[in-house]
Amino acid sequence: MSTRRSFLQQIAASAALSLVPLSSLASERKYEGPVLRVAIMGLGGYGTRVADAMKTCQKAKLVGAISGTPEKLTRWQEKYGIPAENCYNYQTFDQIKNNKNIDVVYITTPNALHHDQVIRVAAAGKHVICEKPMALNAKEGQEMVDACKKAGVKLLVGYRMHFEPQTLEVIRLRKEGAFGKILFFQGQCGFTIGDPTQWRLNRELAGGGSLMDIGIYAINGARYMVGEEPIWVTAQETKTDPVKFKEGVDETIQFQLGFPSGAVASALSTYKMNNLDRFFVNGEKGFAEMQPSTGYGPIKGRTHLGELKAPHVTHQTRQMEEMAGIILEGKEPVVAVNGEEGVKDLKIIDAIYKAVKTGKKVPLNLI
């Protein structure tokens, strides 16, 4: 009887197990590999977004904070459980070289500060993740790449879209030839910017205007959607509010890119219009359209084959998980996120500004 009862219990247990979703089982598996210990520099809106997203990371953990505002450091210690000994200000953060509990510093400060901060972090022997744009120009960017190589640390750029599932699906389809020969890319990136006193409208801190902040998505997107490096650029600037958008701070820029295969790209970057977050790539056999294409919320899109249906994961959570793999395990992402990738975008930005100023087609050499 006991044998029969045991047999029936095993049958019941097996049946119950078969009803449990595999996703539930996977979520209960505890990660036991190496964990990337992260300090965030710049505790503003985006730094907070990254910190919140890391709460659900398994491979990356927030352990430190760097800020010029003592009150922010106190709040972060309380909110995220950060030890006081892992908190620094902008004058003292070189001391992280003596802190064995921090592996990498994620820099989310204004653009103009990136260059010196990355070089200082590298000199302290820590890996660096730097928000885009990596620097104010390609010269600065290359100096950052060189400094990190000299120090033997990795330099990654916060290209969260390079890990986004819908984006990666379009790239996969393009690589497999689903669209045929790529002919055209269109990128529309923009919103109506608010507070005129914010750092994004300060040339000294931002290095420009909409192109540095939002237009870089279209620049980077053109490259990974077309699958080539552009060889020329033309560009035009429109400014309707010279009071809000002072000299050197672009309001709206349209630019065009040409590729070796003959494909062309047309893009719009603006701080003056809403409802602009769209990518479209067209080939001889098909197309892909994404809208929204780069926003923080779920990315939505379709191709000639149907709707894109990959599940949404918070971008910064997925980014930090993948970057932990790159830094700790040497993993190679589908689309590069290293400093060299950042320099290429900066070379294009330099060329766009030159094209605006001269009204001429500017050649590019990114190889």
Q: What is the pLDDT of residue 25?
A: 39
Residue 349: which CATH number? 3.30.360.10
Q: Is the pLDDT of residue 277 over 80?
A: yes
231 lies in the same domain as 343: yes
Q: Is the pLDDT of residue 45 over 90?
A: yes
Using only the alpha carbons of the chain, give its radius of gyration: 23
User: Which one is catalytic: 106, 217, 224, 271?
Assistant: 217
Q: What is the pLDDT of residue 167?
A: 98
- Percent with pLDDT over 90 in the chain: 91
Task: Determine the angle formed by the axes of helices 216-226 and 165-175, rounding to 10 degrees.
Answer: 40
Encode pLDDT of 164-208 as tens digits: 999 999 999 999 999 999 999 999 999 999 999 999 999 999 999
Q: What is the pLDDT of residue 18?
A: 39
pLDDT-based confidence at residue 12 (cuts at 50, 70, 90): very low
Number of domains in the chain: 2
Q: Which of these three, 142, 160, 178, is where a domain ends?
A: 160
Element (H, E) at 256: strand 252-258
User: Residue 86 is encoded by which pair of tokens?
Assistant: 């892992």
Q: What is the pLDDT of residue 270?
A: 98
The average pLDDT across 331-358 equals: 98
**Mean pLDDT, rounded, of the chain:** 93
99 lies in the same domain as 178: no
Encode pLDDT of 63-110 as tens digits: 999 999 999 999 999 999 999 999 999 999 999 999 999 999 999 999
Residue 81: which CATH number? 3.40.50.720
pLDDT-based confidence at residue 29 (cuts at 50, 70, 90): low
Separation CA 139–CA 85 (nearest Å): 35
Q: 217 an active-site residue?
A: yes
Single out the residue of 228, 215, 225 nearest to residue 168, CA to CA.
Answer: 225
131 lies in the same domain as 179: no
In the chain, the amino acid numbered 13 is A
Q: What is the pLDDT of residue 23?
A: 41
- Percent with pLDDT over 70 in the chain: 92
Q: Is residue 111 a contact partner of residue 202, using CB atoms and an 8 Å limit?
A: no
Q: Which of these three, 160, 186, 212, is where a domain ends?
A: 160
In the chain, the amino acid numbered 181 is K
Q: Is the pLDDT of residue 26 over 80?
A: no
230 lies in the same domain as 147: no
User: Which one is catalytic: 59, 132, 344, 347?
Assistant: 132
pLDDT-based confidence at residue 30 (cuts at 50, 70, 90): confident
The average pLDDT across 138-154 equals: 98
199 lies in the same domain as 342: yes
Single out the residue of 228, 249, 255, 271 nearest to residue 355, CA to CA.
Answer: 255
Single out the residue of 77, 106, 112, 81 nearest to residue 93, CA to CA.
Answer: 106
The average pLDDT across 239-252 equals: 98
